[in-house]
A and B are shown apart, each in its own frame.
Chain A
């Protein structure tokens, strides 16, 4: 009796842990049945491209959420980085423009953390509002800088081959954007599990007070998580505008909700401390495959949005249940 009870509990835990994976498998099967062309290289490349910007931004957001915070500023950062980078290609050339764009993203994230620390905002709720304010600020800056006009990459007279590759290139059937994602994933995974600062971020998310009393650099961790988030958002922004070949000053709109959705669905706890970039990858995969599948089924985007909301609520519910 008792051994069986324990076994049942283990099974339950195991099921909870791998729910996302099971969901992914089910979606792949459904899609493959509906669309026999699903497994063709062309479609796979396509799905990888859809993976693109969201997955990169979500990798950065994972650290923010593990650290016990939240970052709503990514919408603004995406827009501002896109407008800035595209604007700079003409005068500076593509490589300097790219580097400046990425650095600008990291800087914006860093500024977020300085503001949080300066105001002593140590809770998720405070971070929510402050980063939302920063998003409005960065977004407005993007609009102001180009007078609200969308920048088209076709206007640029200089070489934009790098951006073309990022947006549409592929090696074999693997898209370049997916390679960027994989490289980021590996680096960030090693960072989280092997390095001192990675551990510090997790401990900060687990219990700031205890971490600080034990000499863990809590403030430095907070600066780092927002800088990482800012940087990865910039990478996502570059992939995004390269694919659509235009940089609209409202490019990043609504990205924050999808990103948080992907991270939380993956199984990173909003309470902080627990989570991983691998889980986030699964979360992004689930969401991407789901839209792909629902599109094939002809479900309207309004219903899709509703389903995303429901999934987020369920993910948080499952996370809370784990503690019982």
Chain B
């Protein structure tokens, strides 16, 4: 670990951070070399986000020293960090949707650029330097997710960043877009920019990183050159126990038809008809924006759609709103757990009991004892890591938040559970547990529709896969008989 300090862009010594009741970071020491890609892996709640936020100046560290580019840094603010040359690209982008690409890249520095023309010219140069052809006059709201990411990266470069921290940069990118990202990372490295690359996708860590650090429960477990840590070793260090496989065995309990959907037609969706069988995991494969989410939202009554028919066990059901859907035995784990899934400032208990609340109400009054029992049962059986059932969900890590939402639906014993990107931004250990829960649901006679941008996940878990492209179902596959390439080809149209 002893390096010449002039080779280091960032050096942390014994950094700690405490939150009420939690030790989020415990004596963390970390060195990042100039021009290297340093992978940071760990389960959700391991402390990665806290570490980043301290570096960015969002949080203040409680103990320890931070040396950036040879300079010891005490208190800092996000804008100071930026000017010092430390940029962070968060998972959720910080872009102004209603402004143009150029304006976003040089936000707040229009005067230095001598007005709008200068701004766009400079933005063009910066975009060209990473080989991007995005129009600087395009509105951010019109960009794809990967293009937005390019804009974020370019924005970071505009500050002459020496260190770029990327938090789950690939969580919503397709394979092609990933290749582009790989090129950009290579390009940045050649320029001498160091990168801290945070990801749950171990393939990427092996593809991009020179060094990898494993973080668990706020402490650093190990830091090594990437060549010296094999995959199983890394997973074992992350979760603190060894996991044999990334996916459980595919459930095999497909029965008769459970639900039939006919003719969903909207502006975006064209003639969507399909069947779902009892005990089946049905995967939807397609690009982000292909209409996967819209299909389940239409069935669930979350979007107003007319003229389609839904049959459950042969009987037609009319679903006008989510309440009707729940009554017909449906449940949904939505795409964005913070915006659509959880009521963040509320307790774990009231988030878990939400869907069942109606059933434990008598004469208008909630049976609080029953509510407590429900939440405690699921906290225990799903092993949700929380100080208590009265903790607000905003204090939980991503995986535990997702488990709260799944617990909410397990309580309802749903016949059909829609799971939209259920493992996005969730660590390996929690992912595996979520796969097991999916298996448990179908084995007890339910069915799951799984939407995921992670191809290996859909292909390993599903009994059947539908490819969706531009609002149409373009193919149906048995994932055991077809290769990923063949399936992806159909999904791309």
Chain A residues packing against B (C-beta within 8 Å): 1-2, 5-6, 9-10, 13, 194-197, 199-200, 202-203, 206-207, 209-217, 273-274
A6 touches B342 (CB 8 A): no
A215 touches B358 (CB 8 A): yes
Chain B residues near A5 (CB-CB < 8 A) = 18, 62
A2 touches B344 (CB 8 A): no
Question: Can you name 11 extra interface pairs (CB under 8 A) apart from A203-B346, A216-B354, A274-B345?
Answer: A6-B21, A194-B366, A195-B361, A196-B361, A196-B364, A200-B357, A207-B344, A210-B339, A213-B340, A214-B326, A215-B323
Interface status of B350 (Cβ within 8 A of chain A)? yes
A213 to B344, CA, bound (A): 15
Within 8 A of A (CB), among B18-45: 18, 20-21, 23
Q: How far is the CB of A33 from chain B (nearest CB, A)?
A: 38
B365 touches A196 (CB 8 A): yes
Chain A residues near B408 (CB-CB < 8 A) = 214
A213 touches B334 (CB 8 A): yes
Chain A residues near B332 (CB-CB < 8 A) = 213
B62 touches A210 (CB 8 A): no
A210 touches B350 (CB 8 A): no
Asked if A195 meets B354 with Cβ closer than 8 Å, knowing A2-B18, A274-B345, the reply is no
A13 to B21, CA, bound (A): 13
Asked if A199 meets B358 with Cβ closer than 8 Å, knowing A211-B343, A274-B345, the reply is no
Partner among B62, B325, B339, B358 whose Cβ is within 8 Å of the Cβ of A209: B339
16 example contacts (A-B, Cβ-Cβ < 8 A) are as follows A2-B23, A5-B18, A5-B62, A194-B366, A194-B368, A195-B365, A199-B350, A203-B346, A206-B343, A210-B334, A212-B322, A213-B322, A213-B340, A214-B408, A216-B354, A216-B357
Chain A residues near B12 (CB-CB < 8 A) = none
In the complex, the chain A residue whose C-beta lies closest to that of B63 is A1
In this complex, which of A9, A13, A200, A215 has the most chain B Cβ atoms within 10 angstroms of its Cβ? A215
Sort A-B residue pairs by CB-CB distance and give the 4 closest, nearest first.
A206-B343, A196-B361, A214-B354, A215-B326
Interface status of B436 (Cβ within 8 A of chain A)? no
A199 touches B302 (CB 8 A): no
Chain A residues near B345 (CB-CB < 8 A) = 206, 273-274
Interface status of B329 (Cβ within 8 A of chain A)? no
Chain B residues near A274 (CB-CB < 8 A) = 345
B302 touches A212 (CB 8 A): yes
Chain B residues near A206 (CB-CB < 8 A) = 343-346
Asked if A217 meets B323 with Cβ closer than 8 Å, knowing A194-B365, A195-B365, A206-B345, the reply is yes
Chain A residues near B18 (CB-CB < 8 A) = 2, 5-6
Interface status of B467 (Cβ within 8 A of chain A)? no
Partner among B63, B343, B364 whose Cβ is within 8 Å of the Cβ of A203: B343
Asked if A195 meets B346 with Cβ closer than 8 Å, knowing A2-B16, A213-B332, A214-B408, the reply is no
A215 touches B20 (CB 8 A): no
A210 touches B63 (CB 8 A): no
A196 touches B357 (CB 8 A): yes
Asked if A209 meets B323 with Cβ closer than 8 Å, knowing A194-B365, A194-B366, A199-B366, the reply is no
Interface status of B445 (Cβ within 8 A of chain A)? no
Interface residue SS majority, chain A = helix
A9 touches B20 (CB 8 A): yes
Interface status of B282 (Cβ within 8 A of chain A)? no
Chain A residues near B198 (CB-CB < 8 A) = none
A203 touches B350 (CB 8 A): yes
Chain A residues near B325 (CB-CB < 8 A) = 215
Within 8 A of A (CB), among B309-333: 321-323, 325-326, 332
In this complex, which of A203, A210, A214, A274 has the most chain B Cβ atoms within 10 angstroms of its Cβ? A214
In the complex, the chain B residue whose C-beta lies closest to that of A209 is B340
A209 to B18, CA, bound (A): 32
In this complex, which of B302, B341, B346, B357 has the most chain A Cβ atoms within 10 angstroms of its Cβ? B346
A209 to B335, CA, bound (A): 12
Q: How far is the CB of B325 from chain A (nearest CB, A)?
A: 8
In this complex, which of A6, A10, A217 has the most chain B Cβ atoms within 10 angstroms of its Cβ? A6
Interface status of B106 (Cβ within 8 A of chain A)? no
Interface status of B355 (Cβ within 8 A of chain A)? yes
Chain A residues near B350 (CB-CB < 8 A) = 199, 203
A9 to B62, CA, bound (A): 12
A203 to B351, CA, bound (A): 9
B62 touches A203 (CB 8 A): no
B357 touches A199 (CB 8 A): yes
Q: Mark B347-375, 1 if CB is under 8 A from A, else 0.
A: 00010001101100100111010000000
Asked if A273 meets B340 with Cβ closer than 8 Å, knowing A1-B63, A199-B357, A213-B332, the reply is no
A210 touches B342 (CB 8 A): yes
In the complex, the chain B residue whose C-beta lies closest to that of A195 is B364
In the complex, the chain A residue whose C-beta lies closest to that of B16 is A2
B358 touches A196 (CB 8 A): yes
Chain B residues near A197 (CB-CB < 8 A) = 364
B355 touches A215 (CB 8 A): yes
Chain A residues near B339 (CB-CB < 8 A) = 207, 209-210
Q: How far is the CB of B389 from chain A (nearest CB, A)?
A: 15
A5 to B22, CA, bound (A): 11
A273 touches B346 (CB 8 A): yes
In the complex, the chain B residue whose C-beta lies closest to that of A269 is B345
B20 touches A6 (CB 8 A): yes
Q: How far is the CB of A224 from chain B (nearest CB, A)?
A: 12
A202 to B357, CA, bound (A): 13
Within 8 A of A (CB), among B132-181: none
Within 8 A of A (CB), among B49-68: 62-63
Asked if A273 meets B366 with Cβ closer than 8 Å, knowing A5-B62, A203-B354, A215-B355, the reply is no
A195 to B364, CA, bound (A): 5
Chain B residues near A13 (CB-CB < 8 A) = 20
In the complex, the chain A residue whose C-beta lies closest to that of B394 is A323
Q: How far is the CB of A195 from chain B (nearest CB, A)?
A: 5
Chain B residues near A214 (CB-CB < 8 A) = 322, 326, 354-355, 408
Q: How far is the CB of A89 from chain B (nearest CB, A)?
A: 34
In the complex, the chain A residue whose C-beta lies closest to that of B343 is A206
Chain B residues near A9 (CB-CB < 8 A) = 20
Chain A residues near B323 (CB-CB < 8 A) = 215, 217
A260 to B60, CA, bound (A): 34
A199 to B357, CA, bound (A): 9
Chain B residues near A210 (CB-CB < 8 A) = 334, 339-343, 354
Q: How far is the CB of A77 from chain B (nearest CB, A)?
A: 26
A194 to B371, CA, bound (A): 11
In the complex, the chain B residue whose C-beta lies closest to that of A12 is B20
Q: How far is the CB of A170 from chain B (nearest CB, A)?
A: 34
Chain A residues near B366 (CB-CB < 8 A) = 194-196, 199
Q: Mark B171-199, 1 if CB is under 8 A from A, else 0.
A: 00000000000000000000000000000
Q: How far is the CB of A219 from chain B (nearest CB, A)?
A: 9
Q: How far is the CB of B331 from chain A (nearest CB, A)?
A: 9
Chain B residues near A199 (CB-CB < 8 A) = 350, 357, 366
A203 to B257, CA, bound (A): 36
Chain B residues near A207 (CB-CB < 8 A) = 339, 342-344
Chain A residues near B340 (CB-CB < 8 A) = 209-210, 213
A253 to B343, CA, bound (A): 36
Q: How far is the CB of A52 from chain B (nearest CB, A)?
A: 29
A130 to B166, CA, bound (A): 43
Q: How far is the CB of A98 from chain B (nearest CB, A)?
A: 26
In this complex, which of A200, A210, A217, A273 has the most chain B Cβ atoms within 10 angstroms of its Cβ? A210
